[in-house]
Chains A and B, each alone.
Chain A
Amino acid sequence: MQKDLSQYTLRLADSALTMGQRLAEWCGHGPYLEEDVALTNVSLDLIGHAHMFYQMAGAMQEPAVTADDLAFLRDAHEYRNPLITELPRGDFAYTTLKQYFIDVFNLYLYQAMATSTHEELAAVAKKAGMEVKYHLARSEAWCERLSLSTDEAKARIQQALDDLWFYTPELFETDAAMQRLTAAGVAPDYATIQQQWQQRVEPFMALCGLTLPQAGWVATGGLQGEHTEHLGFMLAEMQFLPRAYPGCEW
Protein backbone atom coordinates (compact mmCIF):
# COMPACT_ATOMS: atom_id res chain seq x y z
CA MET A 1 0.00 0.00 0.00
CA GLN A 2 2.74 2.42 1.03
CA LYS A 3 4.59 1.86 -2.23
CA ASP A 4 1.43 2.20 -4.32
CA LEU A 5 0.53 5.42 -2.57
CA SER A 6 4.01 6.82 -2.94
CA GLN A 7 3.81 6.17 -6.71
CA TYR A 8 0.32 7.59 -6.97
CA THR A 9 1.15 10.79 -5.09
CA LEU A 10 4.08 11.23 -7.48
CA ARG A 11 1.69 11.15 -10.44
CA LEU A 12 -0.49 13.77 -8.74
CA ALA A 13 2.52 15.91 -7.85
CA ASP A 14 4.19 15.67 -11.27
CA SER A 15 0.94 16.61 -13.00
CA ALA A 16 0.46 19.68 -10.79
CA LEU A 17 4.09 20.76 -11.04
CA THR A 18 4.33 20.55 -14.83
CA MET A 19 1.02 22.42 -15.21
CA GLY A 20 2.21 25.05 -12.73
CA GLN A 21 5.55 25.45 -14.47
CA ARG A 22 3.92 25.97 -17.88
CA LEU A 23 1.62 28.62 -16.43
CA ALA A 24 4.56 30.32 -14.72
CA GLU A 25 6.09 30.78 -18.18
CA TRP A 26 3.33 33.33 -18.81
CA CYS A 27 4.76 35.63 -16.15
CA GLY A 28 5.35 38.94 -17.96
CA HIS A 29 3.71 37.62 -21.16
CA GLY A 30 0.00 37.67 -20.24
CA PRO A 31 -2.36 39.48 -22.61
CA TYR A 32 -2.82 42.23 -20.00
CA LEU A 33 -1.82 42.85 -16.42
CA GLU A 34 -4.79 41.27 -14.61
CA GLU A 35 -4.51 38.11 -16.69
CA ASP A 36 -0.78 37.98 -16.16
CA VAL A 37 -1.46 38.02 -12.41
CA ALA A 38 -4.26 35.46 -12.71
CA LEU A 39 -2.12 33.01 -14.69
CA THR A 40 0.69 33.17 -12.18
CA ASN A 41 -1.72 32.95 -9.23
CA VAL A 42 -3.12 29.71 -10.62
CA SER A 43 0.44 28.56 -11.24
CA LEU A 44 1.32 29.19 -7.61
CA ASP A 45 -1.67 27.19 -6.38
CA LEU A 46 -0.69 24.26 -8.60
CA ILE A 47 2.90 24.35 -7.41
CA GLY A 48 1.48 24.38 -3.87
CA HIS A 49 -0.53 21.24 -4.65
CA ALA A 50 2.57 19.63 -6.11
CA HIS A 51 4.48 20.50 -2.94
CA MET A 52 1.91 18.82 -0.69
CA PHE A 53 1.88 15.65 -2.79
CA TYR A 54 5.69 15.56 -3.06
CA GLN A 55 5.95 15.86 0.71
CA MET A 56 3.66 12.87 1.09
CA ALA A 57 5.53 10.89 -1.56
CA GLY A 58 8.93 11.77 -0.11
CA ALA A 59 7.98 10.82 3.45
CA MET A 60 6.93 7.36 2.24
CA GLN A 61 10.21 6.59 0.48
CA GLU A 62 13.02 4.62 2.11
CA PRO A 63 15.05 6.56 3.03
CA ALA A 64 12.77 9.59 3.11
CA VAL A 65 13.53 12.39 0.63
CA THR A 66 12.34 15.99 0.46
CA ALA A 67 9.81 17.56 -1.90
CA ASP A 68 12.66 19.46 -3.56
CA ASP A 69 14.60 16.23 -4.18
CA LEU A 70 11.61 14.80 -6.01
CA ALA A 71 10.89 17.92 -8.04
CA PHE A 72 14.44 18.84 -8.97
CA LEU A 73 16.53 15.68 -8.97
CA ARG A 74 14.51 13.27 -11.09
CA ASP A 75 14.88 12.92 -14.85
CA ALA A 76 12.11 12.95 -17.44
CA HIS A 77 11.67 9.16 -17.50
CA GLU A 78 10.95 9.22 -13.76
CA TYR A 79 8.11 11.73 -14.16
CA ARG A 80 4.60 10.27 -14.08
CA ASN A 81 2.41 13.12 -15.36
CA PRO A 82 0.13 12.63 -18.39
CA LEU A 83 1.56 14.16 -21.56
CA ILE A 84 -0.99 16.99 -21.71
CA THR A 85 0.48 18.80 -18.69
CA GLU A 86 3.97 19.01 -20.21
CA LEU A 87 2.91 20.37 -23.63
CA PRO A 88 4.38 23.82 -24.42
CA ARG A 89 2.23 26.73 -23.35
CA GLY A 90 1.21 27.70 -26.90
CA ASP A 91 -0.94 30.79 -27.41
CA PHE A 92 -3.50 32.11 -24.93
CA ALA A 93 -6.35 30.06 -26.45
CA TYR A 94 -4.29 26.88 -26.19
CA THR A 95 -3.26 27.59 -22.59
CA THR A 96 -6.85 28.45 -21.68
CA LEU A 97 -8.45 25.36 -23.17
CA LYS A 98 -5.78 23.07 -21.73
CA GLN A 99 -6.35 24.70 -18.34
CA TYR A 100 -10.11 24.19 -18.66
CA PHE A 101 -9.68 20.46 -19.38
CA ILE A 102 -7.36 20.06 -16.40
CA ASP A 103 -9.51 22.21 -14.09
CA VAL A 104 -12.62 20.09 -14.76
CA PHE A 105 -10.55 16.96 -14.20
CA ASN A 106 -9.09 18.33 -10.97
CA LEU A 107 -12.51 19.42 -9.72
CA TYR A 108 -13.94 15.90 -9.86
CA LEU A 109 -10.67 14.27 -8.87
CA TYR A 110 -10.30 16.27 -5.64
CA GLN A 111 -14.02 16.17 -4.87
CA ALA A 112 -13.86 12.37 -4.86
CA MET A 113 -10.48 12.26 -3.14
CA ALA A 114 -11.80 14.41 -0.28
CA THR A 115 -13.65 11.31 0.94
CA SER A 116 -10.56 9.06 0.70
CA THR A 117 -10.04 6.60 3.51
CA HIS A 118 -6.51 8.00 3.74
CA GLU A 119 -6.83 11.01 6.04
CA GLU A 120 -3.87 13.01 4.82
CA LEU A 121 -4.76 12.51 1.17
CA ALA A 122 -8.35 13.58 1.94
CA ALA A 123 -7.16 16.73 3.71
CA VAL A 124 -4.85 17.73 0.86
CA ALA A 125 -7.65 17.07 -1.65
CA LYS A 126 -10.05 19.31 0.31
CA LYS A 127 -7.52 22.10 0.29
CA ALA A 128 -6.68 21.74 -3.40
CA GLY A 129 -10.34 21.33 -4.35
CA MET A 130 -11.28 24.70 -2.86
CA GLU A 131 -8.68 26.42 -5.02
CA VAL A 132 -9.59 24.54 -8.19
CA LYS A 133 -13.10 26.03 -8.10
CA TYR A 134 -11.59 29.45 -8.74
CA HIS A 135 -9.36 28.11 -11.48
CA LEU A 136 -12.30 26.52 -13.26
CA ALA A 137 -14.54 29.59 -12.98
CA ARG A 138 -11.83 31.54 -14.76
CA SER A 139 -10.86 29.06 -17.48
CA GLU A 140 -14.50 28.26 -18.26
CA ALA A 141 -15.40 31.94 -18.63
CA TRP A 142 -12.41 32.50 -20.91
CA CYS A 143 -13.23 29.51 -23.13
CA GLU A 144 -16.68 30.94 -23.65
CA ARG A 145 -15.43 34.45 -24.34
CA LEU A 146 -12.81 33.34 -26.84
CA SER A 147 -15.17 30.95 -28.62
CA LEU A 148 -17.96 33.47 -29.01
CA SER A 149 -15.86 36.51 -29.93
CA THR A 150 -13.83 37.37 -33.05
CA ASP A 151 -13.13 35.00 -35.92
CA GLU A 152 -9.46 35.07 -34.98
CA ALA A 153 -10.13 34.02 -31.38
CA LYS A 154 -12.58 31.36 -32.46
CA ALA A 155 -10.18 29.92 -35.04
CA ARG A 156 -7.43 29.76 -32.43
CA ILE A 157 -9.47 27.98 -29.79
CA GLN A 158 -10.83 25.54 -32.38
CA GLN A 159 -7.22 24.84 -33.41
CA ALA A 160 -6.35 24.29 -29.74
CA LEU A 161 -9.22 21.84 -29.42
CA ASP A 162 -8.05 19.95 -32.53
CA ASP A 163 -4.54 19.74 -31.08
CA LEU A 164 -5.48 18.87 -27.50
CA TRP A 165 -8.54 16.67 -27.61
CA PHE A 166 -6.79 13.34 -27.95
CA TYR A 167 -4.46 14.14 -25.09
CA THR A 168 -7.41 14.14 -22.67
CA PRO A 169 -8.18 10.38 -22.44
CA GLU A 170 -4.79 9.86 -20.81
CA LEU A 171 -5.96 11.85 -17.79
CA PHE A 172 -8.13 8.88 -16.81
CA GLU A 173 -5.56 6.13 -17.35
CA THR A 174 -4.75 3.96 -14.38
CA ASP A 175 -2.15 1.32 -13.59
CA ALA A 176 -2.21 -1.67 -11.25
CA ALA A 177 -1.03 0.40 -8.26
CA MET A 178 -3.81 2.95 -8.76
CA GLN A 179 -6.40 0.22 -9.17
CA ARG A 180 -5.36 -1.34 -5.86
CA LEU A 181 -5.66 2.07 -4.20
CA THR A 182 -9.11 2.61 -5.69
CA ALA A 183 -10.23 -0.80 -4.49
CA ALA A 184 -9.05 0.15 -1.00
CA GLY A 185 -10.99 3.43 -1.07
CA VAL A 186 -7.79 5.47 -1.03
CA ALA A 187 -7.80 6.77 -4.62
CA PRO A 188 -10.95 7.85 -6.47
CA ASP A 189 -12.50 5.74 -9.21
CA TYR A 190 -11.17 7.17 -12.46
CA ALA A 191 -13.93 5.70 -14.62
CA THR A 192 -16.46 7.77 -12.66
CA ILE A 193 -14.33 10.88 -13.00
CA GLN A 194 -14.12 10.30 -16.74
CA GLN A 195 -17.91 10.11 -17.00
CA GLN A 196 -18.36 13.30 -14.99
CA TRP A 197 -15.72 15.01 -17.07
CA GLN A 198 -17.34 14.05 -20.37
CA GLN A 199 -20.79 15.03 -19.15
CA ARG A 200 -19.54 18.50 -18.36
CA VAL A 201 -17.02 19.14 -21.12
CA GLU A 202 -18.81 17.84 -24.21
CA PRO A 203 -22.00 19.94 -23.84
CA PHE A 204 -19.85 22.94 -22.95
CA MET A 205 -17.80 22.58 -26.14
CA ALA A 206 -21.09 22.52 -28.07
CA LEU A 207 -22.30 25.62 -26.22
CA CYS A 208 -19.08 27.33 -27.29
CA GLY A 209 -19.79 26.36 -30.89
CA LEU A 210 -16.63 24.25 -31.07
CA THR A 211 -16.39 21.01 -33.03
CA LEU A 212 -14.76 17.96 -31.47
CA PRO A 213 -12.20 16.35 -33.79
CA GLN A 214 -13.22 12.91 -34.98
CA ALA A 215 -9.91 11.07 -35.14
CA GLY A 216 -6.34 11.52 -34.05
CA TRP A 217 -3.39 9.97 -32.22
CA VAL A 218 -4.45 9.22 -28.65
CA ALA A 219 -1.74 10.19 -26.20
CA THR A 220 -0.43 7.68 -23.69
CA GLY A 221 2.80 6.84 -21.88
CA GLY A 222 3.12 9.30 -18.99
CA LEU A 223 2.26 6.73 -16.34
CA GLN A 224 5.12 4.56 -17.63
CA GLY A 225 7.56 7.46 -17.78
CA GLU A 226 7.41 7.77 -21.58
CA HIS A 227 7.20 11.46 -22.39
CA THR A 228 7.33 13.96 -25.23
CA GLU A 229 10.60 15.75 -25.89
CA HIS A 230 9.04 18.87 -24.32
CA LEU A 231 9.39 17.56 -20.77
CA GLY A 232 13.17 17.26 -21.05
CA PHE A 233 13.49 20.90 -22.07
CA MET A 234 11.18 21.98 -19.28
CA LEU A 235 13.15 20.08 -16.66
CA ALA A 236 16.46 21.37 -18.02
CA GLU A 237 15.30 24.90 -17.27
CA MET A 238 13.42 24.16 -14.07
CA GLN A 239 16.13 21.99 -12.51
CA PHE A 240 19.17 23.95 -13.60
CA LEU A 241 19.76 25.82 -10.36
CA PRO A 242 19.44 22.95 -7.85
CA ARG A 243 21.56 20.73 -10.09
CA ALA A 244 24.27 23.33 -10.66
CA TYR A 245 24.35 24.35 -6.99
CA PRO A 246 23.41 21.24 -5.00
CA GLY A 247 21.75 21.97 -1.67
CA CYS A 248 21.33 25.69 -2.30
CA GLU A 249 18.37 27.42 -0.63
CA TRP A 250 16.87 30.87 -0.88
Chain B
Amino acid sequence: MASPSKAQIFQWLEAVKDPEIPVISIRDLGILQGIRVADGSVSVDIIPTYSGCPAMYAIQADIKQVLQAHGIEQVSIQLCHEPVWNTDMITEQGRESMRAFGIAPPLQADQRTVACPQCGSTETTCISQFGSTACKALYRCEACLEPFDYFKCHA
Protein backbone atom coordinates (compact mmCIF):
# COMPACT_ATOMS: atom_id res chain seq x y z
CA MET B 1 0.00 0.00 0.00
CA ALA B 2 1.26 3.47 -0.87
CA SER B 3 2.18 5.71 2.06
CA PRO B 4 -0.61 8.17 2.81
CA SER B 5 0.26 11.84 2.51
CA LYS B 6 0.85 14.09 5.51
CA ALA B 7 -2.26 16.07 4.63
CA GLN B 8 -4.28 12.88 4.63
CA ILE B 9 -3.01 11.96 8.09
CA PHE B 10 -3.76 15.44 9.42
CA GLN B 11 -7.29 14.97 8.20
CA TRP B 12 -7.62 11.53 9.80
CA LEU B 13 -6.33 12.90 13.10
CA GLU B 14 -9.15 15.46 13.09
CA ALA B 15 -11.08 12.55 14.66
CA VAL B 16 -8.88 12.62 17.77
CA LYS B 17 -10.51 14.90 20.33
CA ASP B 18 -9.50 16.12 23.75
CA PRO B 19 -11.17 13.53 26.03
CA GLU B 20 -12.10 16.32 28.48
CA ILE B 21 -13.62 18.56 25.78
CA PRO B 22 -14.80 16.07 23.16
CA VAL B 23 -15.72 18.75 20.60
CA ILE B 24 -12.19 20.06 20.07
CA SER B 25 -9.61 18.15 18.05
CA ILE B 26 -5.98 17.88 19.06
CA ARG B 27 -5.12 19.98 16.03
CA ASP B 28 -7.47 22.78 17.12
CA LEU B 29 -6.10 22.54 20.63
CA GLY B 30 -2.64 23.17 19.21
CA ILE B 31 -0.96 20.10 20.61
CA LEU B 32 -0.47 18.23 17.30
CA GLN B 33 2.95 19.46 16.27
CA GLY B 34 4.34 17.28 13.53
CA ILE B 35 3.87 14.21 11.40
CA ARG B 36 6.51 12.16 9.61
CA VAL B 37 5.70 9.44 7.13
CA ALA B 38 8.19 6.79 5.99
CA ASP B 39 7.55 3.38 4.36
CA GLY B 40 4.09 2.85 5.77
CA SER B 41 5.05 3.92 9.28
CA VAL B 42 3.90 7.18 10.82
CA SER B 43 5.48 9.17 13.59
CA VAL B 44 3.47 11.86 15.38
CA ASP B 45 4.78 14.64 17.65
CA ILE B 46 2.49 16.05 20.31
CA ILE B 47 3.08 18.48 23.18
CA PRO B 48 1.27 18.42 26.54
CA THR B 49 -1.16 21.18 27.52
CA TYR B 50 -0.45 20.99 31.26
CA SER B 51 2.53 18.94 32.37
CA GLY B 52 0.45 16.68 34.59
CA CYS B 53 -2.51 16.39 32.21
CA PRO B 54 -3.77 12.78 32.48
CA ALA B 55 -5.60 13.15 29.14
CA MET B 56 -2.27 12.85 27.30
CA TYR B 57 -2.32 9.07 27.79
CA ALA B 58 -5.81 8.76 26.33
CA ILE B 59 -4.84 11.03 23.43
CA GLN B 60 -1.82 8.89 22.56
CA ALA B 61 -3.96 5.75 22.60
CA ASP B 62 -6.58 7.46 20.42
CA ILE B 63 -4.02 8.57 17.83
CA LYS B 64 -2.73 5.03 17.57
CA GLN B 65 -6.22 3.62 17.23
CA VAL B 66 -7.32 6.07 14.53
CA LEU B 67 -4.21 5.52 12.41
CA GLN B 68 -4.37 1.75 12.79
CA ALA B 69 -8.01 1.85 11.69
CA HIS B 70 -6.71 3.44 8.47
CA GLY B 71 -4.32 0.56 7.95
CA ILE B 72 -1.14 2.05 9.36
CA GLU B 73 0.52 -0.64 11.45
CA GLN B 74 3.60 1.20 12.63
CA VAL B 75 2.67 4.24 14.70
CA SER B 76 5.05 5.97 17.04
CA ILE B 77 4.15 8.98 19.16
CA GLN B 78 6.58 11.39 20.78
CA LEU B 79 5.51 13.56 23.68
CA CYS B 80 7.77 16.60 23.11
CA HIS B 81 8.82 19.34 25.53
CA GLU B 82 9.02 21.92 22.76
CA PRO B 83 7.49 24.15 21.65
CA VAL B 84 5.96 25.01 25.03
CA TRP B 85 2.19 24.96 24.61
CA ASN B 86 0.16 28.07 25.34
CA THR B 87 -3.47 28.97 24.83
CA ASP B 88 -2.70 31.20 21.82
CA MET B 89 -2.04 27.94 19.96
CA ILE B 90 -5.77 27.11 20.09
CA THR B 91 -7.28 27.80 16.66
CA GLU B 92 -10.23 30.11 16.03
CA GLN B 93 -12.27 27.01 15.17
CA GLY B 94 -11.20 25.50 18.49
CA ARG B 95 -12.30 28.59 20.42
CA GLU B 96 -15.66 28.55 18.67
CA SER B 97 -16.25 24.84 19.40
CA MET B 98 -15.35 25.42 23.02
CA ARG B 99 -17.85 28.26 23.36
CA ALA B 100 -20.59 26.22 21.69
CA PHE B 101 -19.83 23.42 24.17
CA GLY B 102 -20.39 25.80 27.10
CA ILE B 103 -16.78 26.59 28.01
CA ALA B 104 -15.58 30.19 27.80
CA PRO B 105 -12.41 30.25 25.65
CA PRO B 106 -9.20 31.83 27.04
CA LEU B 107 -8.97 35.62 26.92
CA GLN B 108 -6.96 37.05 24.04
CA ALA B 109 -4.57 39.97 24.26
CA ASP B 110 -7.21 42.65 23.66
CA GLN B 111 -9.84 41.13 25.98
CA ARG B 112 -10.32 42.00 29.64
CA THR B 113 -13.46 40.21 30.77
CA VAL B 114 -14.62 36.62 30.48
CA ALA B 115 -17.94 36.43 28.63
CA CYS B 116 -20.61 33.92 29.63
CA PRO B 117 -20.78 31.16 26.99
CA GLN B 118 -24.55 30.84 27.57
CA CYS B 119 -25.81 34.42 27.27
CA GLY B 120 -22.73 36.42 26.27
CA SER B 121 -22.84 38.76 29.30
CA THR B 122 -19.49 40.01 30.55
CA GLU B 123 -20.89 40.40 34.09
CA THR B 124 -19.11 37.32 35.37
CA THR B 125 -17.32 36.37 38.59
CA CYS B 126 -14.48 33.93 39.17
CA ILE B 127 -15.54 31.41 41.81
CA SER B 128 -12.32 29.40 41.82
CA GLN B 129 -9.06 29.64 39.87
CA PHE B 130 -9.04 25.86 39.79
CA GLY B 131 -11.88 24.04 38.06
CA SER B 132 -12.84 20.54 37.03
CA THR B 133 -9.51 20.01 35.24
CA ALA B 134 -6.11 21.71 35.41
CA CYS B 135 -6.89 23.87 32.36
CA LYS B 136 -10.14 25.34 33.65
CA ALA B 137 -11.32 27.87 36.23
CA LEU B 138 -14.84 28.04 37.61
CA TYR B 139 -16.97 31.13 36.87
CA ARG B 140 -20.52 32.28 37.44
CA CYS B 141 -22.55 34.56 35.18
CA GLU B 142 -24.23 37.39 37.10
CA ALA B 143 -26.76 37.95 34.29
CA CYS B 144 -28.14 34.45 33.72
CA LEU B 145 -26.77 33.04 37.01
CA GLU B 146 -25.36 29.93 35.30
CA PRO B 147 -22.01 28.60 36.51
CA PHE B 148 -19.55 27.78 33.72
CA ASP B 149 -16.01 26.63 33.04
CA TYR B 150 -13.46 29.09 31.74
CA PHE B 151 -10.48 27.70 29.82
CA LYS B 152 -7.66 29.53 31.58
CA CYS B 153 -5.37 31.80 29.66
CA HIS B 154 -1.95 30.19 29.77
CA ALA B 155 0.87 32.09 28.16
Chain A interface (Cβ within 8 Å of chain B)? 20, 34-35, 37-38, 41-49, 51-52, 119-120, 123-124, 126-128, 130-131, 134, 137-138, 250
A48-B81 contact in complex given A37-B131, A38-B128, A130-B86, C-beta closer than 8 Å: no
Residues of chain A within 8 A of B134, CB atoms compared: 41, 44-45
Taking the nearest CB of chain B, how far is it from the CB of A75, in angstroms? 25
For the complex, what is the distance from the CA of A34 to the CA of B140, rounded to whole Å? 13
The answer to whether A123 touches B84, judged by C-beta atoms less than 8 angstroms apart, is yes
CB distance from A197 to the nearest CB of B (A): 23
Assess the B51–A128 pair: CB atoms within 8 A: yes
The A-contacting residues of B in range 119-133, CB under 8 angstroms, are: 127-133
Q: Is there contact, CB below 8 Å, between A34 and B128?
A: yes
| Interface pair B84/A52, CB less than 8 Å apart | no
Selected from B50, B82, B155, the residue in CB contact (under 8 A) with A48 is: B50
Instruction: Label chain A's interface by main secondary structure.
Output: helix
Would A34 and B52 count as touching, CB distance under 8 A?
A: no
Let me know if B129 and A38 touch, CB within 8 A.
yes
Tell me which residues from 79 to 100 in chain B have a Cβ below 8 Å from any Cβ of chain A: 81-82, 84-86
Residues of the B chain whose Cβ atoms lie less than 8 Å from the Cβ of A134: 129-130, 152
Interfacial chain B residues near A43, Cβ < 8 Å? 52
Task: Check B154 for interface membership: any CB of A closer than 8 A.
Answer: yes
Closest Cβ of chain B to A53, distance in Å, is 10
Task: Please state if A48 and B154 are interface contacts (CB–CB under 8 Å).
Answer: no
B63 CB-CB contact with A under 8 Å: no
Report the separation of the CA atoms of residues A250 and B155 in the bound assembly, to the nearest whole angstrom.
32
- Within the complex, the shortest CB–CB distance from B50 to chain A, in Å, comes to 6
Do residues B52 and A51 form an inter-chain contact, with CB atoms below 8 A? yes
Smallest CB gap from A128: residue in B: B51
Q: A138 with B130: in contact, given A120-B81, A124-B81, A127-B81 (CB under 8 Å)?
A: yes
CB distance A52 to B81 under 8 Å? yes
8 A Cβ contacts from B11-57 to A:
48, 50-54, 57
Q: How far is the CA of A130 from the CA of B128 in the complex (A)?
A: 18
B53 to A, closest residue via Cβ: A48
Which 4 pairs show the lowest CB-CB distances between chains A and B? A48-B52, A48-B51, A38-B130, A34-B128
